[in-house]
A and B are shown apart, each in its own frame.
Chain A
Amino acid sequence: DTGVSQNPRHKITKRGQNVTFRCDPISEHNRLYWYRQTLGQGPEFLTYFQNEAQLEKSRLLSDRFSAERPKGSFSTLEIQRTEQGDSAMYLCASSPPLGGYNEKLFFGSGTQLSVL
């Protein structure tokens, strides 16, 4: 078990460009989360999937952001028309099925986005 994998680790883009990040959760985990972390802050929740269904979306997730998990396995997070304020670490996490509210999340190492 290699844990939660995120690609790429780093992404530098110009303002206005589109970017896509990928997250591969731990294989038996059916719950997947995206968080965003800016410098000096804790992670902020973006969205949550249970299998392929997107069950929660934060108000932070503007219409430029879209996340998918088409087959209930890996997930992608796309940001269209990037802005400098989108520069952050994007963290993916997963957790197993049947977990309760005390279920811990397993995080990946994140994708660091820099918008120039």
Chain B
Amino acid sequence: AQKITQTQPGMFVQEKEAVTLDCTYDTSDPSYGLFWYKQPSSGEMIFLIYQGSYDQQNATEGRYSLNFQKARKSANLVISASQLGDSAMYFCAMRIVDSGAGSYQLTFGKGTKLSVIP
């Protein structure tokens, strides 16, 4: 079974600074995808970035980048130039690419609460 671990319950960052949110995963499947979602206080999960297990380059989406280290099974999210609106819960998630029935379910970590300080 797959597992996502986020060891930082809470993080603080100064506005305009960069911050790294940690995520490690555990799976024996060779094909998988890793996602990061943001959940503001409104409750809606917002997709940020995706990394496939066979992708050669680290994913980037605007101010978000994913530091993917396959051998260490880590997929850390880097947010550059933090903004006050970045204050939210951040979840790392994994989807196994099932060659059989094709499972689309995501397995989420417990999340990290990021607070941006003015």
Contacts and interface: CB of A to CB of B under 8 A. Distances in A.
Contact of A42 (B46, B103, B108): B108
Contact of B45 (A40, A41, A45, A107): A107
B91 A42 contact: yes
Contacts, number: 62
Contacts of B50: 102, 104
Interface in A1-49: 31, 33, 40-45, 48
Interface residues of A, number: 27
B85 to A, nearest CB: 17
B93 A42 contact: yes
B47 A101 contact: no
Contacts of B31: 101
Interface in B73-115: 91, 93, 95, 97, 101, 103-111
12 contacts: A42-B93, A42-B110, A42-B111, A43-B91, A43-B106, A91-B45, A101-B97, A103-B104, A104-B50, A105-B47, A110-B44, A112-B43
